[in-house]
Homo-oligomer: A and B are copies of this chain.
Amino acid sequence: MGEHTVASFDEELGHVDRLIRDMGDLAGAMVGASIRALLASDNALAQRVISDDAIMDARQRELDDRAITLIAKRQPMAQDLRAVLGAIRMAGDLERIGDLAKNIAKRVSAVGQSATPRDLSHSIDAMAQLVLVQVHGVVDKYVAREPQALQSLRADDEKIDVKYTAVFRELLTYMMEDPRNITACTHLLFCAKNLERIGDHVTNIAENAYFVMTGSQLPSNRPKFDETTQAVSPE
């Protein structure tokens, strides 16, 4: 295969990259807005996140179509093919992040205004800020082609898991203190779990991005770990 064909393939992969950049920006905006809506009981903002999800779905379809056309037209060899499939997978994870942000937004009205004590809001916000740094970071490192940075980024997912465990325990404590908190806290529990799952999707994206860039797997896969599955009491 000549230089020219390879360059064209890279050019077309560049179009796919721009769509990933767009989807990443939208995913970050949706996650940020869903948490602001949750902590400020802002139903209008929540509604916008819910409707943004349709834009995200359209972007993913666009990327899929472009990727399929690219494969059909360029007939890439196995390595390039894996790069395109990697991009399709990254788009899939970004779309799932949008879904999870939408799910947080849909819980805003059920959580309501009364039930979130300041300490708890602070913990959830701190967790969300970590998640946001990861979502923006993974797309930046991919677009800038910085495979090594993805390794430390993936390692940072552990910080989200630690925060999630703390929020989980805090929520159980509030529920035990006063049964009237249970409904709202249950929804907040799912919101926190969604943030933790967004972190897992960032990890998937980092692994696919690394593979697209380097053709090899990110070394020493960190096992995903939600230690609250073992939590017997909130202490």
Contact partners of A64 in chain B: CB under 8 A: 85
Question: Is the CB–CB distance between B107 and A81 below 8 Å?
Answer: no
Contact partners of A69 in chain B: CB under 8 A: 78
A180-209 residues with Cβ-Cβ distance < 8 A to B are 182-183, 186-187, 189-190, 193
- The 8 Å CB contact of A182, one of B68, B76, B182, is B182
Q: Mark A80-117, 1 if CB is under 8 A from B, else 0.
A: 01100100100010000000000100110110100000
Select the stretch in A15-23, A133-141, A223-231 that faces chain B.
A223-231
- The 8 Å CB contact of A71, one of B71, B176, B190, is B71
Question: Is the CB–CB distance between A230 and B81 below 8 Å?
Answer: no
A77 part of interface (Cβ distance < 8 Å): yes
- Classify the secondary structure of A's interface with B: helix
Size of chain A's interface in residues, with CB distance under 8 A? 38
Contact partners of A77 in chain B: CB under 8 A: 72
Q: How far is the CA of A72 from the CA of B82 in the complex (A)?
A: 10
Report copies per complex.
2
Q: How far is the CA of A147 from the CA of B76 in the complex (A)?
A: 31
A2 part of interface (Cβ distance < 8 Å): no
Question: Is the CB–CB distance between A112 and B232 below 8 Å?
Answer: yes
Q: How far is the CA of A76 from the CA of B73 in the complex (A)?
A: 10
A233 part of interface (Cβ distance < 8 Å): yes
Contact partners of A231 in chain B: CB under 8 A: 110, 183
A153 part of interface (Cβ distance < 8 Å): no
7 smallest CB-CB distances across A and B, nearest first, come from: A106-B229, A176-B179, A72-B78, A75-B75, A175-B182, A107-B229, A110-B232
Residues of A within 8 A of B (CB): 64, 68-69, 71-72, 75-78, 81-82, 85, 88, 92, 103, 106-107, 109-110, 112, 172, 175-176, 179, 182-183, 186-187, 189-190, 193, 226, 229-234
Identify 16 new A-B residue pairs, CB closer than 8 A, beyond the known A182-B182, A187-B229: A68-B78, A69-B78, A71-B81, A72-B81, A109-B230, A110-B230, A110-B232, A172-B182, A172-B186, A175-B175, A179-B179, A183-B231, A183-B233, A183-B234, A186-B186, A190-B229
